[in-house]
Amino acid sequence: MSAPKLTALAVGAHPDDIEFHMAGTLLLLKDAGADIHMWNLANGCCGTMVYSYDQIIRMRWQEAQDSAREAGAAIYPPVVDDLCIFYTAEMIARVAAVIRRVKPDIILTHPPQDYMEDHMNTCRLVVTGAFARGMPNFATRPPEPIWTGETVIYHAMPHGLEDGLRQPVQPEFYVDISSTLARKRSLLAKHRSQKEWLDASQGMDSYLVEMENAGRIVGRRSGRFEYAEGWRRHLHLGFASREADPLRAALGDRYCSAAAS
């Protein structure tokens, strides 16, 4: 009997966060036969120096859909404006609803330490939403039946590979994205509205070059891979058995423990 098909859900704060930090691994899961899902909590309304509020929201939703279509992923619409991702009961209920609907074996999301609050709050919401997935007395918005399956949460590296106090963040393990880098770049390039914004607001030069440079640095740190994404696994309590590591099982030799590198 063949193993059950995996389901993976990547949750980012803003359109392009998944493509920048997580898409190499997500595409490897797709190649391994998993169903993949993408969700950005915020609509990208602040990512412009040029367009109106309504214009940039339409543009960024279209860009996100274009990226998901190319990746072969299901996508879910954003629920709040940029800088409005707060750790509230309403937001937990919204996040838990999507998790119950998708039933992900694997959740990819931001780390608890990052350079901006939207990223860190997204992480907190995902962790609590997943924790509440099987609680009958926790009402989601919209209502969804409980789901009691195991889910394992993996945290990506922070932007800049440092926390908010400039301390390096070390991964628990590395994933070799050398074979998916070109596709990851293509997905990120779908977010073409962001080039001028990122150049002007954060001095990132070309966001595509910045993404590749980050992958090269992480790959060098692995001691094995040319390009890599670094990950840390969330504590298993409330989510899965201690030994559960479906990402490692799915990716095989493309997964390298930091302790072994």
Number of domains in the chain: 1
Cα 215 to the center of its chain, rounded Å = 15
Q: Cα(15)–Cα(64) distance, rounded to whole angstroms?
A: 6
Strand pairing partners for 257? 173
Residue 94 lies in a domain: yes
Indicate the pTM of the whole model.
0.96
Residue 167 lies in a domain: yes
Residue 74 lies in a domain: yes
Residue 1 lies in a domain: no
Per-residue pLDDT of 41-99, as tens digits, reads: 999 999 998 899 999 999 999 999 999 999 999 999 999 999 999 999 999 999 999 99
| pLDDT exceeds cutoff 80 at 195 | no
* DSSP structural state of residue 156: E
**Residue 129 maps to which CATH number?**
3.40.50.10320
Q: Please provide the average confidence, as pLDDT, over all residues in the chain.
A: 95
Q: What range does the domain containing 127 cover?
A: 7-260
Q: What angle do CA 150, 156, 161 make, to 5 degrees?
A: 160
Per-residue pLDDT of 198-244, as tens digits, reads: 666 665 557 888 899 999 999 999 999 999 999 999 999 999 999 99
Per-residue pLDDT of 145-180, as tens digits, reads: 999 999 999 999 999 999 999 999 999 999 999 999
Q: Cα(134)–Cα(204) distance, rounded to whole angstroms?
A: 41
Number of neighbouring beta carbons within 10 Å of residue 226: 14
Instruction: Tell me what pLDDT residue 198 has.
Output: 67
Residue 2 lies in a domain: no
What's the mean pLDDT in 14-35? 98
Phi, psi of 128 (to 5 degrees): -70, -40
